[in-house]
Amino acid sequence: LPPPPSPMASLYHEKQVSLLCGVHALNTLLQGPYFLAADLGAIAQEFDERERALMREAGVESADFLRYMAEDSGNAAADGNFSIQVLTKAVEVWNLTCIPATSQAAGRAWQEPQREAAFLCNLDQHWFTVRRCATASPTVHATGGGWWNFNSLF
């Protein structure tokens, strides 16, 4: 992650626009306006093209291919929501890795979540970030910073 803001710095937060919560979640994770919907859309399109190519290998007349082609993208919904695969690929340019909470690799995060820098969360098809920041709120945190819920609906 980019370095956390200094204790006197303000926190970066984006309000929900359309259904672009994935964009907002990544930008609050990184604490800046680093991604646009078009950036994630390009990644989603790349995944869609690869998936179509793989499905074509089974034959363009196969029931699976025809069913797949009749469906909308699984990587970007028409309303602007993006898949975890798209979000994961996007943060790779920052040398970050998204580890699914249900994987064995996430064991340490379950045992000691306070040691993690951030969590990219999805609840009812809505992406948001919970992130540790150096900035403290006198009404919420002790000195030295704390955890912030960067839900774009708030």
Whether residue 98 lies in the annotated active site? no
Q: Which of 21, 27, 81, 133 is catalytic?
A: 21
**Among the listed residues 53, 57, 48, 118, the one whose alpha carbon sits nearest the alpha carbon of residue 89:** 48
Q: Which of 27, 75, 81, 151 is catalytic?
A: 151
**Among the listed residues 34, 55, 48, 54, the one whose alpha carbon sits nearest the alpha carbon of residue 82:** 48
Separation CA 19–CA 27 (nearest Å)? 15
Q: Which of 13, 121, 122, 126 is catalytic?
A: 126
Whether residue 151 lies in the annotated active site? yes
Q: How many helices (H) and strands (E) does the chain have?
A: 5, 3
Active-site amino acid positions? 21, 126, 151
